[in-house]
Amino acid sequence: MPHLSTSVMHRLPSGKTTTADRLLVAAGELMTERNSIDVSLHDIAEKAGVNAALVKYHFGNKDGLMLALLERDAVTEMANLEYLLAQPISPSAKMRLHIAGIIKTYHQFPYMNRLIHYMLHESGGEAADEVSKFFVGPLLDFQRRLLAQGVAAGEFRHVDPVLFYTSLVGACDHLFFSRHSMTRAIGVGPVTDQVCRDYIAHMETLILDGLLRPERAVS
């Protein structure tokens, strides 16, 4: 995956946007380093090497900056999905890559999952609308088209795309959102690279093939 900021760097006109980009890159890196979305505007500005007052100028406030960061990431992710959909491989192979892609993206950018939850559930309604618009809508639309490809190819059962989205995204999300509480309850460790790989393999089999053994699934 290319560095996430690339597309926005290219998308925006040059000039004063350079400062905005630097702030977004700094915010993403800082949250990744600290493994927390609880970073101050002061620290973000310092890491970006710009005056903290410029955050207000470019983004209004911290929620505005976080929203811009999520939108930057969403643009990249959705471009990857369009690319995947157009590949000359089977719908099943695309679905496996999509499942792995969701889990890898959450793992690579731990702040993304938490920011989405924060924006959807704790910030004001307007930020939630924005996140829905550039994350939930396009992702659902992608899955709708992939599911249709799979049904047309005779590979997939017919499933309701909204219900499928809910189950797949919910299951992927929960690895990152719930691991903390599971660590407490049952002593499982954090989400390491190995846990991530194991979960990808688990989800590919569960979503594509189901829990039943093949000879039972047919009967």
Which parts of this chain interact with a second copy (CB under 8 A)? 92, 95, 120, 128-129, 131-133, 135-137, 140, 150, 154-157, 159-160, 162-175, 177-182, 184-186, 188, 198-199, 202-203, 205-218
CB distance 109 to 25 below 8 Å: no
Give the angle subtended at the CA of 48 by the CAs of 47 and 53, to the nearest 5°: 105
Q: Work out how close the CB of 81 gets to a second copy at its nearest, in angstroms, rounded to a whole number.
A: 16
User: CA-CA distance, 117 to 54, in Å (whole number)?
Assistant: 26
Q: Work out how close the CB of 176 gets to a second copy at its nearest, in angstroms, rounded to a whole number.
A: 10
Which C-beta is closer to a second copy: that of 56 or that of 179? Answer: 179
Inter-residue long-range contacts of 76-81, CB under 8 Å, 24+ positions, other chains counted: 76/1, 76/2, 76/4, 76/6, 76/7, 77/105, 78/134, 78/138, 78/139, 78/142, 79/7, 80/1, 81/138, 81/139, 81/142
- The token duo for 25 is 């890159």
Q: Which residues contact 4 (CB under 8 A, 6 or more apart)?
A: 28, 72, 73, 76, 109
Which C-beta is closer to a second copy: that of 5 or that of 105? Answer: 105
Which C-beta is closer to a second copy: that of 1 or that of 217? Answer: 217
Which C-beta is closer to a second copy: that of 88 or that of 214? Answer: 214
Q: Work out how close the CB of 202 gets to a second copy at its nearest, in angstroms, rounded to a whole number.
A: 4
Q: Work out how close the CB of 105 gets to a second copy at its nearest, in angstroms, rounded to a whole number.
A: 16
Which C-beta is closer to a second copy: that of 21 or that of 91? Answer: 91
Q: Work out how close the CB of 209 gets to a second copy at its nearest, in angstroms, rounded to a whole number.
A: 4
